[in-house]
Structure 1
Amino acid sequence: MRAGETIGGAPGVVPRGETALVTGASGFLGGYVVRDLRAHGYDVIASGRNASALPAGETFVGDLDDLVRADLGRTVDVVVHCAALSSPWGRWAEFEHANVTGTARVLEFARRAGSRRLVHISSPGIYAAPRDRVGIREHDVDPRHPMNGYIRSKLEAEALLQAASAEGGGPEIVILRPRGIIGRGDPSLVPRILRVRERFGIPLMRGGRGLVDLTAVENVALAVRLAAEVPDVHGQAFNITNGDPRPFRAVLEQLLEGLGLEPRYRPVPTAVAYGVAALLETVCGVLPGYPEPPVTRYTVTTIAHSQTLDMSRARELLGYRPQVSLDQSLAEYARV
C-alpha cells in the first residue's frame, strides 16, 4: 500500500454531515476517538502510517508529511491531532520533527482542508516538577525548564498553535491535556509499570502516598468530541482527568490484584532515586544508541509526587463529565 492511499469504508451510522480526520488513529487513544466519533454520526478518516493497525473504515495511510500534501477532494470539518512521539526518553531531533514540525503540518492541512476546528492532544507533562502540585490550573505552566525532550516538544507545539490562534485566519483551535490515559489496549502506561515490576521491583517513594490523577480512555474520547462541538472555546486549553485522584500505591495494588499479580516494591528515598535517575540520563545520553535509562527523572517525579489537575474549565465550558469510572477502567484493563 502506498503512502497517502485512501481506503473507502462506510462508518455504519447516519452521518451528521461532517467529516473528521484523526491523526495517530492506529494508536491507543486515536482508535478510541475514531470509534467514538463514528458512533456519534461523523464520517471519520482514520489517519496513520500503519495500515494494518488503523480502525476499519475510511483511512488515510501515510505520515504527517504525506498528509500535508494530500488532497482528499472534500472539506474536512474537524481535525483531531492525536499523533505524537510519546516517551520519557529520546533524541530532541526526533521529538521536534514528530511533535513540533508534525503539529505544524497538521495545522497546514487543516487550513487547506477548510476545517472549522482543530483539536490538539497535548500533555499535562508540561506541568511536571519535582514537587507536589495539587489542583493545577491550565495557566500553571512554567516553560523554562522542561524535564525532557517530549515535554519541551509539547510546549513548543502548544506555543505554535496558540500563536496561530491569535493570528486568526485558520481553524478554531482547542487543546486538551489528558492525564495518565488508561483502559483496554493501553500499550504504554501500565505495561511500563509491569516491566519495571518484573525486572527491578517498582520504586516506592514516600510510601506510595503521592496522588495520581488518571483518565479512562473513553472519557478522553468524550472530551475530544466535546472539544470538536462546543462553541466559543477557540484558543482554550483544557485539563482532562477522571477527577478521582488516588495514592499511587492504592491504584497500583488494585490493578495488580485484578491481574493476579503480587506487588514487588523497592523502597527508595526520593532524593536518591532522583539523583540516580539524573546520573543514568547523563550516562545513557553519551552511550552509543542513546539507550533509554531504566528510570528517568520524569518517572521519579510522577511516582514520588502528587500531581492533580483542576478540571473546572472543562466542566464549565465543555460540559465535560467523566462517564467511565477509574474502578471500571482498571477492571477493564485486567480483563484483557
Structure 2
Amino acid sequence: MKEPAAGGETSGVEPRGETALVTGASGFLGGYVVRDLRAHGYDVIASGRNAAALPAGETFVGDLDDLARANPGRTVDVVVHCAALSSPWGRWAQFEHANVTGTARALEFARRAGARRLVHISSPGIYAAPRDRLGIREGDVDPRHPMNNYIRSKLEAEALLQSAAAEGPRPEIVILRPRGIIGRGDPSLVPRILHVRERFGIPLMRGGRGLVDLTAVENVALAARLAAEVPGVHGQAFNITNGDPRPFRAVLEQVLDGLGLEPRYRRVPTAAAYGVAAVLEAVCELLPGHPEPPVTRYTVTTIAHSQTLDISRARDLLGYRPAVSLDESLAGYARG
C-alpha cells in the first residue's frame, strides 16, 4: 500500500480507529465514499487502477486481481466494493471478469485482510423488466432472463456473495442496490442523455410520465457507511434511493433548465422503440467490434416504464435517511 499523500487526511475529525479500503475509488461513487468515510474518522485506503484520479491520501494502485494478491500489512476492517464495469452493452467475458471475478477478488482480499465486513455495491438493474414496477422490494428478483450482460454479471456477483455469507460470518456481507446515482461529477447518467439529445433527440415514450427513482451520490455514500457500521445485517440486501420518484420528463427538463438547454424530443411508441432496440442489438452482436447500439432494450425500459424501489428495509434496519434532496443533487450537477 502506498503511503498517504500530503493533504490526504481530514483535519479535526475524531479518528474512529478502523481502516476501510474502497475499490473503484477513482470513479464517481468511489470518490464520494472515500470522502464520506474519511469525514467520519476512518483511515481509508483508496484503491483503483487510475492513480491520477484517486483521492489524495493512502492508495493502492492496481486492478482487483492485483488487490487480491496484495499484502495489506495490517488489518483492514471494512472493504467497500464500488469497482464495476457499468454499461448497457458489452461482451459477457468483459462483464464476467470485471464484475463476477472482480467481486470474488474483493472478497479474497477482505478475508486475507481480516475484514469484519464487506459492503458490495450492486445494481437495481436486476429488477429490470419491460413493464411498470412500483414499490419493488429486495426479494422481487427474477434471475432467469437478465436483459443484458451487465445485469447478468450483477446477479452472479450477488449470488457469489450470498453463497459466501451462508458459509460463515467473516467477513459479514451487506449488499446495496442504489438506483440512478446522480450529482456533481456524474460521468454517465446525465451525459448519456445529453449525448442522445444532441445526436437524435431524446426518445419520449408514454409522454415521459414513467417514474424514475434517483439517488443523490452523497446518499449512496451515506448508505455505504451505514452498511459498514450497523450490526445485525449480515447477508442482507438493501434498496437505496432518495425516496422521491418523479416523472422522467419532469426530471429531465429540470436538469436541462439548469444547464440552459432546450429539450429536444422524439415521440416514439414504446412497442416500436423496444422492437427497434431488439433488432439493433441483434445486428450489433454480429458486427466487427461489437459496437454499442444507439438504443438498447434496457434503455427503452428505463425511459418508458416506471420503476420505483421500496426503501423501507434500509430505513428500518440501517437507519438510512436521505441527507441530500433530489433538487439539491440536480442543481449540483448543473453547477458542475
State the TM-score bracket (shorter-chain normalisation): over 0.9
- 1:2-34 deviations in whole A, cap 9, x for unaligned? xxx623245233321000000000000000000
CA distance in 1, matches of 2:137, 2:107: 26
- 8 Å contact 1:174–1:236 — kept in the other structure? yes
Residue equivalent to 2:63? 63
- In the other structure, the counterpart of 1:177 is 177
What secondary structure is seen at the aligned counterpart in 2 of 1:14?
coil
In the TM superposition, what whole-angstrom CA distance separates every residue of 1:242-263 from its partner, at most 9, and x where no partner exists? 0000000000001100000000
How far does the alpha carbon of each residue in 1:271-300 deviate from its partner, in whole angstroms, 9 at most, with x for none?
Answer: 000000000000001100000000000000
Q: Aligned partners of 2:33 and 2:274: how far apart in 1?
A: 36
Contact 1:215 1:326 in 2 (8 A): yes
Q: In 1, distance between residues paired with 2:312 and 2:324?
A: 18
Letter of the 2:281 partner, please give it.
E
Cα RMSD over matched residues?
A: 0.7
**Percent of residue pairs identical:** 88
Matched, 1:306 2:306: yes
Return 5+ residue gaps in structure 2 as ranges. none
Query: Which residue number in structure 1 is paired with residue 45 of structure 2?
Result: 45
Partner of 1:11: 9
In structure 2, C-alpha distance between the alignment counterparts of 1:316 and 1:236, rounded to whole Å: 13
- The one-letter code matched in structure 2 to 1:11 is E
CA contact (8 A) 1:183 1:216 kept: yes
Secondary structure (helix, strand or coil) at the match of 2:2 reads strand
* Local SS of the residue matching 1:126: helix
Structure 1 residues 1-336: aligned runs within 5 Å: 6-9=2-5, 10-12=8-10, 13-168=13-168, 170-336=170-336
Mapped to 1, the partners of 2:4 and 2:263 lie a distance apart of 47
**Which whole-Å CA distance do the structure 2 matches of 1:222 and 1:170 have between them?**
23
> What is the alpha-carbon distance in structure 2 between the residues aligned to residue 117 and residue 72 of structure 1?
16
Residue 81 of structure 1 aligns with an amino acid whose one-letter code is H
d(CA) in 1 for partners of 2:61, 2:258? 37
- Conserved 8 A contact 1:19-1:45: yes
What are the superposed Cα offsets for residues 117-171 of structure 1, whole Å, 9 maximum, x if unpaired? 0000000000000000000000000000000000000000000000000011520
| One-letter identity of the residue aligned with 1:62 | G
The TM-score normalised by the length of structure 1 is 0.98
- State the alpha-carbon separation in 1 of the partners of residues 75 and 156 from structure 2: 28
Structure 1: give runs of 5+ residues left out of the alignment. none
Q: How many residues align?
A: 332
Q: Which moved more, 1:322-331 or 1:13-22?
A: 13-22
Task: Check whether the contact 1:23–1:30 (CA below 8 A) recurs between aligned residues.
Answer: yes
